[in-house]
Amino acid sequence: MLTYTIRRLVLSFPVLLFISFAVFMLLQLAPGDPMAQVPLTVPPEVKQQMREALGLGEPPLVQYWKWLVQVFWIEPQVLIDHWFGTSFSEGKLRVISWQTRSPVMDIVIQRIPQTLWVVGLAYVVGVLIALPIGIYSAYRQYSVFDQAGTFVTMIGFSIPPFFTGPLLIVIFSVQLGWFPSIYDTTHVVNDWASFKIQLQQMIMPVMVLALQTTAQISRYMRAAMLDNLNADYVRTARAKGMSEWVVVMIHVLRNSMIPVITVIALGVPAIFGGAIITENVFKVNGIGQLLITALFANDLPMVMTLTFIFAFLIVMFNLIADVLYGLLDPRIRYD
């Protein structure tokens, strides 16, 4: 298992390199220009100079190489400096966003709390709602609950967040005035009252996002439970005189969770980029919003770095999912 993990880890380096190269070439091919947001009143020569100041004049491969060096060599040094107070990175050029002229990593780190608070929590909430729904739907297959659950989750899944978001805002912010419509990213939670405010501002985006998660995960959970409910070992457990609770919630659930856990793990990377529209609707300026603004501003280093982080998460969580699978299911042992 350990060698398997290490092997996969080592193998993921070339994979990531290749992915980053592919993404870079894609972005090179993509039309668009970081000067698009500069007003038309600024004359073209000036724009050309600004472009050159960003390093856009250099050949693509040189740009890629620079980016690689910055991400893989300089940024880790910055991290080490930050932790140990050393000064390896002094005077070295980090990955700089074209939009903000500041290190991309700093902005990313700034965005992580929002993303985790809202999108991450939404994922957790979604999963927590989905699991009982899935379990009970399977246990009472074709019951009213099951049918209704399917109905509601599918509706939830088929309605886009750019509709549910404003709908919630109109109802809860405008009509009822319960929750703020704009997320305050500077809000600091330090006591009960501020925690309550945080809850209030989180509740709507979390709900919108959780709806999507719930729909998917509960489907998987239901299917996995159904697969296991008729297994022989369930009959054995019953024959031992175990109560239904133990039979379902311990014997069946533990087995059904194996595929579902991996599905959940594979969904984690999406937390960081998959909530673009919801983040936008509620002004939760997280990683997704960062990516989309960077995309529209053609901020190549930012887009590149974010997609790379994203790819990194995907590859890592793929690996984590596989390892989890092996850990949870004693039958599977990777050599």
Q: Using CB under 8 A, which residues numbered 81 to 120 contact other proteins?
A: 93, 96-97, 99-103, 106-107, 110-111
226 binding other proteins? (CB under 8 A): no
Nearer to other proteins, 128 or 171 (CB): 171
What residues from 282 to 301 belong to the interface with other proteins (CB under 8 A)? 282-283, 285, 289-293, 295-298
Q: How far is the CB of 269 from other proteins (least distance, A)?
A: 8
Question: Contact, 310 vs 272, CB < 8 A?
Answer: yes
Tell me the C-alpha distance between 219 and 187, whole Å: 36
Query: For other proteins, what does the binding mask look like between residues 310 and 329, x meaning CB under 8 A?
Result: xx--xx--x---------xx
190 binding other proteins? (CB under 8 A): no
Q: Half-sphere exposure (CA, 13 Å, Cβ side) for 34? A: 24
Q: How far is the CB of 83 from other proteins (least distance, A)?
A: 20
Q: How far is the CB of 321 from other proteins (least distance, A)?
A: 10
202 binding other proteins? (CB under 8 A): no
Query: For other proteins, what does the binding mask look like between residues 12 and 41, x meaning CB under 8 A?
Result: ---x--xx--xx--xx-xxxxxxxxxxxxx
Question: Contact, 137 vs 150, CB < 8 A?
Answer: yes
- Which of 174, 189, 199, 249: binder of other proteins (CB under 8 A)? 174
216 binding other proteins? (CB under 8 A): yes
- Which of 68, 80, 145, 185: binder of other proteins (CB under 8 A)? 185
Tell me the C-alpha distance between 311 and 291, whole Å: 13
Tell me the C-alpha distance between 280 and 165, whole Å: 10
Cβ count within 10 A of residue 115:
23
Positive/negative CA dihedral, 113, 119, 123, 129 = positive
Of the candidate spans 69-77, 80-88, 126-134, 163-171, the one that interacts with other proteins by CB under 8 A turns out to be 163-171
- Which of 207, 281, 287, 323: binder of other proteins (CB under 8 A)? 281
Nearer to other proteins, 202 or 290 (CB): 290
Task: Give the CA angle between residues 326, 115, 36 to the nearest 5°.
Answer: 120
Tell me the C-alpha distance between 114 and 16, whole Å: 26
Total binding residues toward other proteins, as defined by CB under 8 A: 124
- Which of 68, 112, 223, 268: binder of other proteins (CB under 8 A)? 223
239 binding other proteins? (CB under 8 A): yes
Question: Contact, 313 vs 321, CB < 8 A?
Answer: no
The single residue listed with the structure tokens 């939670």 is: 189
| Closest listed residue to residue 301, CA positions, set 314, 311, 291 | 291
Residues paired with 96 in a beta bridge: 103
Q: How far is the CB of 121 from other proteins (least distance, A)?
A: 19
